[in-house]
Amino acid sequence: MSQQLLSEAEDIWTKLASITDSCFAKKDAKDIAQQREEFWETPTDQVIHNKKAGLAYHLGHLEAFHKATGGKAGRFTATGHTVGECKLWAVLHVILAHVKDNSVLEPYPGLRSFYEAVMETSECQALLADGAQMPKAFGQYLVKA
CA dist., res. 71 & res. 77, Å (int): 9
**Do you know the residue count of the chain?**
145
If one compares 139 and 14, the residue with the highest pLDDT of the two is 14
44 CB-contact burial (10 Å; exposed 0-12 / middle 13-18 / buried 19+): middle
Q: What was the pLDDT predicted at 96? A: 92
Instruction: List, for residues 31-49, the tens digit of each pLDDT value.
Output: 788 888 888 886 666 667 7
Which of the following CATH numbers is that of domain 2-130: 3.40.1000, 1.10.287, 1.20.1050, 1.10.3470? Answer: 1.20.1050
Of the chain, the end-to-end C-alpha distance in Å amounts to 30
Mean pLDDT value across the chain: 87
pTM for the model stands at 0.89
**pLDDT above 90 as % of the chain:** 43
Instruction: List, for residues 45-81, the tens digit of each pLDDT value.
Output: 666 777 778 899 999 999 999 999 877 778 898 888 8
